[in-house]
Amino acid sequence: MNFDFLHRKIVFNKKWLKIVAIAVGGLSLLAVLGYSGYIYFQNIKLTTKVSQVESSLQTKDKELADLKSQDQVKINANLQKQIDKSRLLLPSPMTVYEKLLDLENPPRISKVWTVYTLMFCHNSQKGIIMAQQEA
């Protein structure tokens, strides 16, 4: 029997098999290289986007710090106004107390008058403390 034709078919099939394997390998290599290039360029694009976002974040942080400092200036100005207002109010209880003492004609001080002046002095001190706490 002549099996020569089978040998030729097998050799022929082996050649095509090698060619197909090389072609598939080459196409796979091209696909991998193409995808790697795509990933590389996407990485570059995302890196530039991240750097832009970071720079934007830094500018926004600076603007926020500026706004906070401006608000602090306004708060300090309002607090200064309250302090000045309380300074205007503080001398008045003391002058009223002095006037009350000047109104007393008799040289001796009665017990009722002493209690009244002590209460007034205590209330004045409470007013001073409250004004300082508000300021």
pLDDT tens-digit readout, 46-92: 999 999 999 999 999 998 888 777 777 788 888 888 888 877 776 56
Q: What is the pLDDT of residue 130?
A: 74
> Do 53 and 96 lie in a common domain?
no
Q: What is the pLDDT of residue 56?
A: 92
> Do 5 and 68 lie in a common domain?
yes
Q: How many domains does the chain have?
A: 2
Residues in the chain: 135
- Whether 80 is covered by a domain: the verdict is no
Q: What is the pLDDT of residue 84?
A: 82
- Whether 84 is covered by a domain: the verdict is no
**What is the arithmetic mean of pLDDT over 11-39?**
85
* Domain membership of residue 118 as a residue range: 90-135
Whether the per-residue pLDDT at 123 is higher than 60: the answer is yes
Whether the per-residue pLDDT at 126 is higher than 70: the answer is yes
> Do 58 and 112 lie in a common domain?
no
Residue ranges with strand state E in the chain? none
Does the global pTM surpass 0.85?
A: no
Nearest Cα neighbor of 124 from 87, 94, 85 is 94
- Whether 8 is covered by a domain: the verdict is yes
- Whether 108 is covered by a domain: the verdict is yes
> Do 55 and 13 lie in a common domain?
yes
> Do 66 and 2 lie in a common domain?
yes
- Whether 83 is covered by a domain: the verdict is no
What's the whole-number average pLDDT of the chain? 77
> Do 49 and 105 lie in a common domain?
no
Q: Concatenate the DSSP letters of all residues of 19-49 into one string.
A: HHHHHHHHHHHHHHHHHHHHHHHHHHHHHHH
Q: What is the pLDDT of residue 71?
A: 75
- Whether 103 is covered by a domain: the verdict is yes
